[in-house]
Amino acid sequence: MLDYEISANEAAILLKEKQARLIDVREPWEFETTRIDGSLPMPMGEVAARAHQELEPDELLVVLCHHGIRSMNVAVWLRGQGFEQAQSVRGGIDAWSVEVDPTVKRY
């Protein structure tokens, strides 16, 4: 079984190799402030209503928020719903900005 968390660098490699799908669970204003290209905006409050319609249970899902708290909660929930390959980016988009891509604005 996969760990519940993945580092920003590990996530970047998976995404670059198109082995995972990036789900951004931040609020719309946060997504407008800064984002990672190719991410699917799905605010945390909408995940329960949208997950089974928009996500595949067998795909590797990399879940992202600001610092990694909301994304961990969503990853745990998704796994409970049968999305067994959901992982949270440790440190969120803030860690991504520091470790992977400094052009992603910090806030």
- Specify the DSSP class assigned to residue 56: -
Q: Does the domain at residues 5-99 carry the CATH identifier 3.40.50.2300?
A: no
Percent of the chain with pLDDT over 70: 100
C-alpha separations of 10 from 19, 30, 88, 96 in Å: 11, 23, 11, 10
pTM: 0.96
Given a contact cutoff of 8 angstroms between Cβ atoms, the answer to whether 66 and 30 are in contact is yes
Domain segments of the chain: what residues? Answer: 5-99
Q: What is the pLDDT of residues 21-73, one digit of tens each?
A: 999 999 999 999 999 999 999 999 999 999 999 999 999 999 999 999 999 99
| Confidence label for 93 from pLDDT (cuts 50, 70 and 90) | very high
Marked catalytic residue, from 62, 65, 74, 100: 65
Which amino acid, 82?
Answer: G
Note if 16 is an active site residue.
no
